[in-house]
Amino acid sequence: MSAARPWLAPLALTAGSLVALAGFTWPLLASAVPSDAQAATPVVAMALVPAAIVALALALDRDMHSAKAVALLGVLAAIGAGIRIAGAGVGGIEAVFILLILAGRAYGPRFGFLLGLLTIAVSSLLWGGLGPWTAFQMFGCAWVAAGAGLLPRIRPRLARASASDAAAASLAARAARRAARLEIAMLAGYGVVASYVFGLLMNIWFWPFAVGTGTGISYEAGAPIGTNLASFALYSLVSSTLTWDTVRAVTTLVGILLLGPAVLAALRRAKLPAR
- Reported as a single tens digit per residue, the pLDDT across 26-49 is 787 776 666 666 566 556 655 666
Q: Which CATH class is domain 8-269?
A: mainly alpha
CA–CA separation, 78 vs 70, rounded Å?
12
Spell out a b/e string for 101-120, using b for 16 or more CB atoms within 10 Å of the CB, else e.
Answer: bbbbbbbbbbbbbbbbbbbb
CA–CA separation, 10 vs 22, rounded Å?
18
Model pLDDT, residue 142: 92
Residue 18: pLDDT band (50, 70, 90) is: confident
CA–CA separation, 251 vs 195, rounded Å?
10
- Among 74-83, 143-152, 183-192, 223-232, which is the least confidently predicted range? 223-232
Instruction: Give yes or no for residue 271 having a pLDDT over 60.
Output: yes
Across residues 178-192, what is the average pLDDT? Answer: 95
CA–CA separation, 81 vs 24, rounded Å?
23
CA–CA separation, 103 vs 114, rounded Å?
11
Model pLDDT, residue 2: 44
Instruction: Give yes or no for residue 87 having a pLDDT over 80.
Output: no
Residue 22: pLDDT band (50, 70, 90) is: confident
Q: Which residues contact 185 (CB under 8 A, 6 or more apart)?
A: none
CA–CA separation, 81 vs 138, rounded Å?
12
- Which stretches within the chain are classed as H helix? 8-24, 26-29, 34-59, 67-86, 96-107, 109-127, 132-150, 165-204, 207-210, 225-236, 244-269
Return the SS3 of 159. Answer: coil
Q: pTM score, two decimals?
A: 0.84
Model pLDDT, residue 177: 87
Across residues 179-183, what is the average pLDDT? Answer: 93
Instruction: Please name which of 198, 154, 157, 199 lies closest in space to residue 175, comparing C-alpha atoms.
Output: 157
Domain edges within the chain? 8-269
- Among 61-65, 111-115, 231-235, which is the least confidently predicted range? 61-65
Highest mean pLDDT among 86-100, 156-170, 251-265: 251-265
The overall average pLDDT reported for the chain is 81
- Reported as a single tens digit per residue, the pLDDT across 91-135 is 657 789 999 999 999 999 989 988 998 899 899 888 867 777 888
- Reported as a single tens digit per residue, the pLDDT across 198-210 is 999 999 888 887 8
For residues 42 and 251, the model is more confident at 251
Return the SS3 of 2. Answer: coil
Q: Which residues contact 140 (CB under 8 A, 6 or more apart)?
A: 116, 198, 201, 202
Across residues 134-151, what is the average pLDDT? Answer: 92
